[in-house]
Amino acid sequence: MEDLIKQYRKAKKGKSDSRLKSIPKPFKPTLTSRDYKRGFIIRRFAQKVNDDFSPIIEISDSNFNKMSINSLYKVVSFKWRISGTKDEIKNSNRAIVSENCKKIPQLKNRLVNLIEYCNEFKSS
């Protein structure tokens, strides 16, 4: 709470907090054969704190670090399964989406393709 008060006082004096200038920059992961061997990728998302229906934006690792200190956004990061059987992948990714919906409730509507980035099942 004290941090918010300090930010307010700086803004009121005309001094802007550089952390608040960060905005999420959309990012699309590029997968490698190493990712497929490992079986997962790390995905990161950001959404405005004060609007559960604002766009949920996938962001890069470096942008995630900036956004995680920006009090105007909530962020999540998790392992997204990309290898295994179709059912294993779907069940694993459904569980991780469900777990992260506690922080970003509309994530379930953003991540509807549970086999996204899985080479074997792209046409399914």
pLDDT tens, position by position, 20-36: 567 899 999 999 999 99
State if pTM tops 0.75. Answer: yes
Neighbouring residues of 61: CB distance < 8 A, sequence distance ≥ 6: 42, 44
Rounded CA separation 107/69 (Å) = 20
What share of the chain in percent tops pLDDT 70? 87
The residue whose two tokens read 């992260």 is 100
